[in-house]
Amino acid sequence: MATAPLMPKATAVWLVENTALSFDQIAHFCNLHPLEVKAIADGDAAQGIKGLDPVQTGQLTREQIDQAEGDPEFRLKLTDPKVKLPQPKSKKGPRYTPVSRRQDRPNAILWLVRNHPELKDSQIMRLVGTTKSTIAAIRERTHWNAPNLQPMDPVTLGLCSQIDLDLEVHRAAKEKPIDHTAQGATLLPAAETTIRPRDPEPEEKKPGEELDVGAVFAKLKQLGGKNE
């Protein structure tokens, strides 16, 4: 059974002492092992535990117990609560930081300021649970412990989760896109560095530059006559 009754062992003690239900029926209802229920009946387990009446607490009805006592295959089920309690609403506020981790907050703020300058002060406050004055002091290097601060990842320190950090960085990137021109020269993409240079194409000869065969032979005859 997925949902167990309130105080399962105390409920099992009461059912063992006050009903004729089988061990399997009690184990199924209380989400226990049948051998554990048998140990309770034998007095080897749950000693000193006072039984809890599931009928008085509204978890069972007398009709269900009577039906289960007459049918060993019948399985008891929790009755629906008469009063439904509203779900508590999550309160939005500064993140609580354990006392043992509060001394690491300035280091985490310094890490966020250096590695994610696009984050707003309100986002840093949500991530590590700090104040705006502390963030300003660390930005301006006027913090009382500024010389000893070392940038440390807030996720590693346990001040926030990686999901929360990625979410805030993604929000900040949408509001303030990164200016790539201000980052200086960057490496060329692989598509440009791995391309092979093309072989130079042979120059086409102009029509007026075609070879005159007759003029060549005439020049050779003149040279032959001079040698004689």
Q: How many other CB atoms sit within 10 Å of the CB of residue 120?
A: 14
Q: Is the pTM of the predicted complex or chain greater than 0.75?
A: no
* Average pLDDT for 217-223: 73
**Do 149 and 140 form a contact (C-beta atoms < 8 A)?**
no
pLDDT single digits (tens) 119-166: 999 999 999 988 999 999 999 999 998 899 999 999 888 888 899 999
d(CA 16, CA 50): 12
Per-residue pLDDT band at 5 (split at 50, 70, 90): confident
Distances in Å between the Cα of 136 and the Cα atoms of 6, 101, 113, 145, 212 are: 51, 20, 10, 13, 86
**Do 25 and 68 form a contact (C-beta atoms < 8 A)?**
yes
**Do 111 and 153 form a contact (C-beta atoms < 8 A)?**
yes
pLDDT single digits (tens) 53-87: 998 888 888 999 999 999 989 998 888 776 666 66
Give the residue carrying structure tokens 């029509």: 207
pLDDT single digits (tens) 167-195: 999 998 887 655 555 455 555 665 666 66
* Residue type for position 158: G
Query: Is pLDDT above 70 for 48?
Result: yes
